[in-house]
Structure 1
């Protein structure tokens, strides 16, 4: 197991049981259990290519933009 996965599991252990189960289902689905490995739609693929290009160009949200989104969604 990688250190990152181990760290994630340690953090998940502290969450409520229902949340742990939800996250476990997500991981199992992504890993291909109970069905095929998740495949992106053409639109999702295009979004990722666009995001990769923005990252390569150093185009990131400002701290102010991130704060605005977080406050909008009460996070």
Structure 2
């Protein structure tokens, strides 16, 4: 299956968030390395996997998620 890889700027344009919000608030709390983004070739650059982000955005809160005060979720 082919996946669509996006830079932080491209992701920000698709989900209507500021790139700084993605980097500072969503990355590593809601968007998880290995699931929602990768670091190709072990470098500093981050590429987001659009299909996985889109899938999680469509989900409603499930019983194995615990809402956090900062707006994120704890993955049980």
More helix by share: 1
> TM-score band (shorter)?
under 0.3
After TM superposition, the score normalised by the length of structure 2 is 0.23
Structure of larger gyration radius: 1
After TM superposition, the score normalised by the length of structure 1 is 0.23
